[in-house]
Amino acid sequence: MARRLFVLNGSNLNMLGARQPEVYGRATLEDVRADCERVATELGFELFFAQSNAEHELVEWVHDAFREDAVVVINPAGFSFRSVPLLDALRMLGSAVVEVHITNIHARDAVYQRSLISSVARVVIAGAGVYGYELGIRAAHRLASEGSA
């Protein structure tokens, strides 16, 4: 049976392609999903892909990942900077967490530069655009293959 991979997306990412394309690019969340499905299939993962603007839904999905011992790639978006509940949920995971940001959060306004989630992430990818999801999945696969996820 294939190992489960959760790719989770936080607030406003459902608006990719329409929201500030000069910052986030023109790819939609469906484009991201298709790329993630392609890479997950190539690497032998069974993919769960989801997005929510509601913090509690992300926390519940992380709980599901915990129960399934799944690998997690997460773009917490705005929840990166204030969500202690999401941070606490991610801390429970026995597998590696890979954090992805479409933009380089370190080059943005100060409010976007300090991600709480980075403190539990084994890998952080920022600024690679939506290609960062592929990099994140490949990093998660490498960690899982090495037994450190």
Q: Token pair for residue 105?
A: 């959060």
Q: Show the low-confidence residues of the chain (pLDDT under 70).
A: 1, 148-149
pLDDT of residue 95: 87
Q: Which residues contact 124 (CB under 8 A, 6 or more apart)?
A: 98, 99, 100, 101, 115, 118
> What pLDDT is stored for residue 1 in this prediction?
67
Is 53 annotated in a binding site? The answer is no
Tell me if 73 sits within 8 A of 132, measured CB to CB.
no
> Residue 38: its pLDDT value, please?
98
Structure tokens at 141: 């696969």
117 assigned binding-site residue? no
* C-beta separation of 2 from 45 below 8 A: yes
Strands (E) in 10-70, as ranges, are 45-51
28 is in an annotated binding site: no
Q: What is the per-residue pLDDT for 107?
A: 87
Instruction: Write out the catalytic residue numbers.
Output: 24, 101
Which domains occur in the chain, in start order? 3-30+47-145 (3.40.50.9100)
Task: Give the model's pLDDT for residue 34.
Answer: 98
pLDDT at 146: 87
